[in-house]
Amino acid sequence: MTEDRRREPRVPAELNLKLAFGSVREFLDRYSLNISRGGIFVRTLQAVEPGTEVALNIEIGTGERVIRGRGIVRWNSPPSAPGESPQAPGMGIKFISLEPESRALVEEVVAARGHAANGEEPPIPVDEGAAGPEEAVDLSELVIDEAAGQAPGPPAPPPAAAAAPTVPAARTAPRRAGPRSKIVGIDLGTTNSCVAYSAGGRAQVLTSRRGHRTIPSVVAYDEHGRLLVGLAAKAQMVINPKNTVYGSKRLVGRPFRSPTVQACRDRFHYDIVEGPNGEAAVRFAGRDFSLQQVAAFVLGDLKETASEALGELVTRAVVTVPAYYNDHQRQAVREAGALAGLEVERIVNEPTAAALAFGYGRGIEKRVLVYDLGGGTFDASVLDIQGDIYEVISTGGDTFLGGVDFDNQLVDHLVYRFMEQNGVPPPEDRVVWQRLRDAAEEIKVALSGRETAVAQVPYLCKDASGRDVELRVEVSRAELEGLTGRLVDRTVEVAREVLSARNLGAADVNEVLLVGGQSRMPLVWRKIREAFGREPNKSVHPDEAVALGAALLADSDSRIDSVVLIDVLAMGIGVGLAGGRMVPVLARNTRLPARRSYDVSTTRDGQAELEVAVFQGDSPKASECEYLGTVRVTGLPPAPRGTVRIAVDFALGPEGILSVSARNLATGQVTAARLATLDTPESLRDKLQMTDRQVAPRGARPIEADPASAVASAVPSASPGAEAARRGLLGRLFGKK
């Protein structure tokens, strides 16, 4: 890209279309022949010259936007002349980038039409004589505005070239699709996300048009019904918390009725509801969204950033996930990628990607413990790095331990101070509490660089007399460390447990590599020095290392000198037995890929089907592991009990994603099986005769209250009534801490 082009970016023509459909479903049913994965055919006499870049904004009669993004006109088809075969006049527009909602609609069309809509170019229109009702539609409005993106002002008249219909002498055939797109690395984080690209072993973070290297993983709808992603969504969070989704990465891929979701659903300002298939979903702006859709909005924004930075449509990515993600969560990230129009080439664990960023091309031979404390999750992985070989030998983590939990401890502290100053707690108002959360995050960040900081929130609320009340609290680094010390202790406990799982100790690692934004905290450095007897390694960028490592892995796969990556299973996978036992089939830290079998037999005469409940976790109790689903094998031949034996085969790919099949040991016949979440915690308890109720496993449960409250030790005692009010208010707003 030239310097002139960087200074004066090309402004696309704005193409606003309004189609006379009464619903999105009608649009999909009747307009689908005009849509492919790669583009759209617009039927109109007012065509635009091929090569023109356009900003697409297609609405239906209700005002809902159905297609919004950027494209380029690839070809025109003129009206048919007398005597010629009838053909639809218009233009083929190739998508450059689409907003996530639009991409989701396009993928719905592709799923419905199959191969016919799978092309990377705009669809060629059928002859009018052969057109069905889906194509028998014309445009009711077409506006071409070359002034799009300029400062607000009087509407500019359309340029002369666009004012008259474009009727070329002959139809221009669409060009064939080019080679597959470049592949990027994406760190889909709980609080922030990042995209990077590597070529020739040199990786770089791709910045947005405004120069931002990361974006907040926040999605919102504003009061006008506009979708906001990233910085724009976070900027309005304080005034629109109920319609703003943040931190959803912790819940993606989890069943709504799971103990994990139920334990934390009251901690968010937005509503967590049950999706159509029993999964956890969110409700905001008057609609229900799957958490995969929410993640797709963020991935779509990163995809657009990458496409603009690289000058071409990006459709492939390596995406990172926490090492401690279970099978459902990994599958959900793949689904989110597809919804965003991304082919997820590989899913890689975040600590493994960070190790790649640390060691790639350096020829080092070391054993490294990656300490990854991010905004919402903590992972620890031990890797042996031998030149271009990266072998994970042990991994573990906690998906409910991260920067937001540090923020929550500070929110508690600020509320307590507010009550000391004013005698009453803050009102139960989402805006008030979001402002408190913002203040807590700001002083937490500030205290990594200095000894004291002041949380000041003017006009926080009004008192009983209508007077404005502000929050002003000075917090010292020592107070912060007193409030959050047990959280840091928990990370060290996990790291030690990861080492001990392989009979290793602190002396057996050469480096402790820090990754993740919360690892900037001085208390983390001090605790690591005490636990491992060495200074932590801070040589990689804590916010960017994971995305850079993913990009290096993506680049390496196409090179001769590619790296060898050997990963392991973070949590064991097994089956639940009567009495509530969990029998492991694939043990924790099993090298990937892996395959194991578990044999079951009928327990009664003439039994026609078998069910096997599958769990993931490391506890011998099924009630303390995560339920993945039930394998149901049907169509068994009638026979006496115990004579029909089935082998359930468990196969794990290099990404740690599980597939299952069933094999009749007598005939050798293999039947594809599917893990279906057929059971609720209550029905599982009945089927397996569990004596204990199902609970979220350690590492997948929200942080609980410290019996010896850190807040209580950090500040003077208050009256019993005020302390009870404080506990009750926080309990109602955030659930148990």
Q: Where in the sequence numbering do the catalytic residues fall?
A: 187, 249, 350, 372
Burial (Cβ within 10 Å: 0-12, 13-18, ≥19) of residue 147: middle
CA 534, CA 170: separation in Å to the nearest integer? 74
Pair type for strands 610-616 and 658-664? unpaired
CA 323, CA 347: separation in Å to the nearest integer? 10
Give Cβ neighbours of residue 236 (< 8 Å, ≥ 6 apart). Answer: 220, 222, 228, 244
Number of Cβ atoms within 10 Å of the Cβ of 387: 13
The residues facing 155 across adjacent strands are: none
CA 335, CA 327: separation in Å to the nearest integer? 13
The residues facing 205 across adjacent strands are: 196
Contact status, residue 122 vs residue 88, Cβ threshold 8 Å: no
Contact status, residue 633 vs residue 610, Cβ threshold 8 Å: yes
Helix (H) or strand (E) holding 453: strand 452-462
E runs forming strands in 502-572: 511-515, 564-566
> DSSP per residue over 112-139, as a string?
HHGGGG--SSPPPPPPGGG--TTT----
Helix (H) or strand (E) holding 76: strand 65-77
> DSSP per residue over 670-703, as a string?
EEE--EE----HHHHHHHTT-SS---PPTTSSPP
Q: Is 423 left (phi over 0), alpha (psi -120 to 50) or beta?
A: left
Place of tokens 């900037």: 520
Q: Tokens representing 7?
A: 């200074």
3-state secondary structure (DSSP) of residue 587: coil
CA 737, CA 727: separation in Å to the nearest integer? 10
646: closest CA among 668, 624, 620? 668
AA identity, residue 23? S
CA 592, CA 655: separation in Å to the nearest integer? 8
CA 192, CA 174: separation in Å to the nearest integer? 39
| Residue 7 DSSP symbol | H
Q: Tokens representing 684?
A: 């599982």
634: closest CA among 678, 689, 674? 674
Contact status, residue 336 vs residue 301, Cβ threshold 8 Å: no
The residues facing 143 across adjacent strands are: 16
CA dist list (Å): 586 to 497, 498, 570, 595: 19, 17, 10, 8
AA identity, residue 508? D
Number of Cβ atoms within 10 Å of the Cβ of 42: 28
Helix (H) or strand (E) holding 358: helix 350-359
Contact status, residue 411 vs residue 440, Cβ threshold 8 Å: yes
**Phi–psi pair at 349, nearest 5 degrees:** -70, 140
> DSSP per residue over 616-669, as a string?
ESS-SBGGGSEEEEEEEE--PPP--TT--EEEEEEEE-TT--EEEEEEETTT--
Place of tokens 């790095």: 385
Give Cβ neighbours of residue 662 (< 8 Å, ≥ 6 apart). Answer: 631, 633, 646, 647, 648, 649, 670, 671, 672, 673
CA 498, CA 394: separation in Å to the nearest integer? 6
